[in-house]
């Protein structure tokens, strides 16, 4: 069912979307590449505007005057050293933390009523599945408060098929491998057709090959569904492989804002990607850059 819905939607249009092209330039900060990010295929994405954001914990400033615009439907990666505030930024955008100052505006697709706005979802570093609920019921958690139990299960099954785990629907999470659990978590995040999907280092605990599979899966589903994706990661290679825009966060501010112009599907080991990765790593490690 979900699969069909996905097929019906157009594949992402890689050309820039005129609707957002003009309005956003002012929000970019120190950006060598402040253009329209990816396309907006289904028009379901949520656009995020962050203005002069401040957040401090017990007097320690973590985010200090951050400005940001995430166009609807784009795939943005946030990288940075640990403790730079990248996870806090994501949690603030999701509403899991309250900002100390500044504002965050989420804008759903034009014309959608307040009630029917696509939800925002997050994938955590750990799967966070309910161990006492079967896999299908865990996915149905993503539909809390929508429709009957049978309907929720039906949609949950479809979402499981989408991540290739249709046959695991009746199992307990404890019987799955780490990668499978994270795929269940992905299905749970996607089953409600979110407008914004935040990924908080969701692949950090997986082995290298499973990671690559998951990256491909996430990219494929993002291209099909057209939500706004925000990936926080410390793996620069992952950011470069997935995102069409990379933000480097340093001392609570955006220090670097780069477009990734390499067309999709991207080949691993592509020299352009490697060059970009090197450049970001140089920046993070503080070595002088040859730009």
Partner 1 sequence: MRPSKLERLRDTALPWLVPAVILLGWQAAVSSGLVSNRFMPAPLDVVRAGWEAGRTGELWTNLGVSTLRALAGFVVGGGIGFALGLANGLSRLSERLTDTSVQMVRNVPHLSLIPLVILWFGIGEEAKLFLVALGVFFPIYANTLHGIRSVDPGLVEMGRVYGMSRTELFTRVVLPGALPSIFVGLRYALGIMWLTLIVAETISASSGLGYMAMQAREFMLVDVVVLAILIYAALGKLADALTRQLERACLAWNPAYRSA
Q: How many CB atoms lie within 10 A of CB 163?
A: 22
Q: Minimum distance between the CB of residue 177 and partner 1, rounded to whole angstroms?
A: 14
For partner 1, the closer of residues 128 and 266 by Cβ is 128
CB 96 within 8 A of CB 55: no
Counts of helices then strands in the chain (DSSP H, E): 9, 9
For partner 1, the closer of residues 36 and 55 by Cβ is 55
CB 55 within 8 A of CB 97: yes
For partner 1, the closer of residues 120 and 283 by Cβ is 120
For partner 1, the closer of residues 122 and 260 by Cβ is 122
Q: Minimum distance between the CB of residue 21 and partner 1, rounded to whole angstroms?
A: 32
Question: What are the residues binding partner 1 (CB under 8 A)?
Answer: 94, 96, 119, 121-122, 124, 126, 128, 130-133, 141-142, 144-145, 172-174, 188
Residue keyed to tokens 């697709």: 109
Q: Minimum distance between the CB of residue 131 and partner 1, rounded to whole angstroms?
A: 5
Contact residues for 124 (Cβ-Cβ < 8 A; gap 6+) = 185, 200, 202
CB 230 within 8 A of CB 199: yes
For partner 1, the closer of residues 229 and 237 by Cβ is 229
Residue keyed to tokens 């690559």: 212
Q: Minimum distance between the CB of residue 200 and partner 1, rounded to whole angstroms?
A: 11
């Amino acid at each position: 069912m979900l699969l069909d819905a996905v097929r019906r939607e157009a594949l992402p249009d890689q050309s820039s979307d005129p609707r957002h092209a003009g309005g956003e330039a002012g929000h970019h900060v120190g950006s060598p590449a402040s253009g329209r990010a990816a396309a907006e295929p289904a028009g379901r994405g949520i656009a995020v505007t962050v203005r002069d954001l401040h957040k401090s914990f017990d007097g320690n400033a973590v985010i200090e005057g951050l400005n940001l615009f995430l166009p609807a439907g784009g795939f943005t990666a946030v990288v940075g050293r640990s403790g730079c505030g990248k996870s806090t930024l994501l949690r603030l955008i999701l509403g899991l933390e309250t900002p100390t100052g500044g504002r965050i505006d989420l804008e759903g697709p034009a014309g959608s009523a307040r009630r029917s706005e696509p939800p925002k979802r997050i994938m955590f570093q750990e799967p966070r599945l309910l161990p006492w609920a079967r896999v299908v019921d865990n996915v149905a958690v993503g539909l809390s408060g929508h429709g009957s139990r049978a309907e929720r299960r039906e949609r949950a099954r479809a979402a499981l098929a989408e991540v290739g785990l249709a046959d695991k629907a009746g199992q307990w999470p404890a019987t799955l491998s780490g990668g499978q659990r994270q795929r269940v978590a992905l299905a749970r995040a996607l089953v409600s057709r979110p407008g914004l999907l935040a990924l908080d280092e969701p692949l950090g605990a997986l082995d290298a090959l499973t990671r690559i599979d998951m990256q491909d899966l996430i990219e494929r589903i993002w291209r099909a569904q057209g939500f706004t994706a925000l990936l926080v990661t410390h793996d620069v290679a992952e950011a470069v492989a997935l995102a069409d825009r990379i933000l480097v966060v340093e001392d609570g501010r955006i220090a670097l804002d780069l477009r990734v112009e390499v067309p999709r599907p991207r080949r691993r080991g592509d020299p352009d990607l490697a060059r970009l990765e090197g450049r970001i790593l140089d920046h993070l490690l503080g070595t002088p850059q040859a730009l």
